[in-house]
Structure 1
Amino acid sequence: MRTLLSVLALSISTIISAQAAVVVIGNPAAGDLSASDAKKAFLGKGDSSVAVYELEEGNATRSEFHQAVTGKSDAQLKAFWSKQVFTGKGNPPATVPNAAAMKSAVASSPNAIGYIDEADVDATVKVILKP
């Protein structure tokens, strides 16, 4: 019984540690970003000079990011942006299809932010927030 519990505990810890975390990225020249500022930016309430990029709907990293940073599920996020657009209060961020496109978009502008899985980070972008 003890052996079974030990194996189970080890398996769970291995699975948890194997999952990379989502991170907010910016241009290598960018400064750090607070969690509060990230939430505002991704909900269209932040500094308007910041170009915000999202992964496409249905992407697991997008879901993980929004749960951690904005506290919204995919359905809540879709409803939020539908209301913002309908009332004329804002438009959703530009979307990119994958991590490579996200890195390219963010690296090309000093005022751009986005998010990717931490395992996809390379020298073209800088991690500015680990939620």
Structure 2
Amino acid sequence: MKKVLSTTVVVLATFFSATALSEVAVVVHPSNDNALTKADVTRIFLGKKRAYPNGSEAIPVDQTDGSAVRTEFVHTMLKKNDQQLKAYWAQLLFTGKSTPPKDVGGSAEVKALIAKNPALIGYIDANQLDDSVRVVLRF
């Protein structure tokens, strides 16, 4: 019994360490030279800020609801869980104050869109980074 328990603990520890190793990167178009803080990114993704520090339009794009990268982003950057975020956006939509970022798919789709549009900002799995996007934050 002890051997089964210790094996289970080792397997779970390995799983959680591997999961914790994957990073999320907040990315913009390579020509976007704006420096962004965590607070800037949070405000953009919560619809409280609609422009980069230089005044150009900032358009956030989201990953599909339920993806591991989105869950990590929402929890770490926005300090909300999925239900809290849905309730937040429902209230803003109802009052007409803002609309949520468009869901565009996974990391590959987000990266491809951002590579074509300097106004977009999104987040991807850091393992998928390349020269088509520029990292502004990583966690």
With the shorter chain as reference, the TM-score category is: 0.7 to 0.9
Tell me, what secondary structure is at the counterpart of 1:62? Answer: helix
Equivalent position of 1:38 in the other structure? 41
Tell me, what secondary structure is at the counterpart of 1:47? Answer: coil
Structure 1 residues 24 and 79: CA distance shift in structure 2, 3 A? same
Tell me, in whole angstroms, the C-alpha distance in 2 between the residues paired with 1:66 and 1:76.
Answer: 10
Equivalent position of 2:73 in the other structure? 65
Tell me, in whole angstroms, the C-alpha distance in 1 between the residues paired with 2:137 and 2:102.
Answer: 20
1:16 Cα shift?
A: 2.4
Q: Is the Cα contact below 8 Å between 1:30 and 1:128 reproduced in 2?
A: no
- Give the 5 Å matches for 1:103-122: 103-122=111-130
Tell me, in whole angstroms, the C-alpha distance in 2 between the residues paired with 1:92 and 1:83.
Answer: 11
> Which of 78, 86, 89 in structure 2 is aligned with 1:78?
86
The amino acid that maps onto 2:82 is D
TM-score (structure 1 length as normaliser): 0.85
Deviations 1:31-88 (A, max 9, x none): 3310000000000011341011000111111010011101010000000001000011
1:12 Cα shift?
A: 4.1
Deviations 1:81-121 (A, max 9, x none): 01000011100011111111100111111121000111111
Equivalent position of 2:3 in the other structure? none
* RMSD between superposed Cα atoms in Å: 2.3
Tell me, what secondary structure is at the counterpart of 1:53? Answer: strand
Tell me which of the two structures has the higher relative contact order, counting C-alpha pairs closer than 8 angstroms and 6 or more residues apart.
Answer: 1
Q: Does the alignment pair 1:127 with 2:135?
A: yes
Tell me, in whole angstroms, the C-alpha distance in 2 between the residues paired with 1:63 and 1:128.
Answer: 19
1:17 Cα shift?
A: 5.6
TM-score (structure 2 length as normaliser): 0.80
Structure 2's unaligned 5+ residue stretches are 1-5, 52-56
Tell me, in whole angstroms, the C-alpha distance in 1 between the residues paired with 2:136 and 2:128.
Answer: 14
